[in-house]
Amino acid sequence: MKTHVWRPLYVVIGIILIILIIRAFYVPSDFGVHERGYMYGWYRKGNIEEWKNFKVKYQGEGYCKDCHPDKIESIMKTPHAIIQCENCHGPAIDHPSEPPKLKIDRSREQCLRCHFPLPYPTSGRANIRGVDPERHNPGIECVMCHNPHSPSSGGKR
């Protein structure tokens, strides 16, 4: 065959070689077919560790108990015992070092998540006492009168 046929072929082979060389450096060695085969298990294995190292923010009430046992003990005697501290106080993250102070959600909306009355059969919601927020002291925070750590003690501060 004549050279005008071979020349573009060399160019194509050259381009393919360059791509393969770049690929060898760019694609990490742990990328490939793993446990579940090509369809579900074609991935970079190092990513699993990356996800495992993601920062935990919600520490759970066991973490709070170490420094605030009095608060835990008092709320444990009330119907609000089932609610995690961090649901209202916000995620602890590395408290007390970071953040040094947690931002408490004292909004009416926070209480209404459960205490807006929805009379739904086949849902536990129907069993929770509620108030009509448009009639029951609108505009002021519930915690002005009610103590969320002791809701059953007459409901009043």
Partner 1 sequence: MISRRDFLKNAAKGIVGLSIPLAAIEIISPEKIFASKGDKKVRWVFLVDTYKCVGCGLCVKACKLENEIPYDANVTRTWVERYVIRKDGKVFADTPKGARDGFTTDKIALGEGKYQEIKKEDISQAFFVPKLCNQCENPPCVQVCPVGATYQAPDGVVLVDRKWCIGCGYCIMACPYGVRFFHPVYKTAEKCNFCYHRITKGLKTACVQACPFGARQIGNIKDPDDPVSKIIMTERVGILKEEYGTKPQVYYIGLNKEVR
**How many whole angstroms separate alpha carbon 142 and alpha carbon 72?**
21
Quick one: which of 100, 119, 138, 139 contacts partner 1 (CB under 8 A)?
A: 119
In 3D, which of 82, 92, 89, 83 has the Cα closest to residue 56? Answer: 92
Smallest gap, in angstroms, from Cβ of residue 15 to partner 1?
21
Contact characters 74-113, partner 1, x per CB under 8 A: --------xxx-xx--xx-----------------x--xx
- Applying CB under 8 A, what is the total number of residues that bind partner 1? 46
Residue 14 beta carbon to partner 1: minimum distance, rounded to whole angstroms: 25
Is 142 exposed, middle or buried, given 0-12, 13-18 or 19+ CB atoms closer than 10 A?
buried
Location of structure tokens 């046992």:
69
Site for partner 1 in 20-79 (CB under 8 A): 31, 33-37, 39-44, 47-48, 50-58, 60
Q: What whole-number distance in Å separates Cα of residue 105 and Cα of residue 101? A: 13
Residue 133 near residue 112, CB atoms below 8 Å: yes
By the rule CB under 8 A, 125 interacts with partner 1: yes
- The token pair at 149 is 């750590």
Interface residues with partner 1 (CB under 8 A) are 31, 33-37, 39-44, 47-48, 50-58, 60, 82-84, 86-87, 90-91, 109, 112-114, 116, 118-125, 128, 133
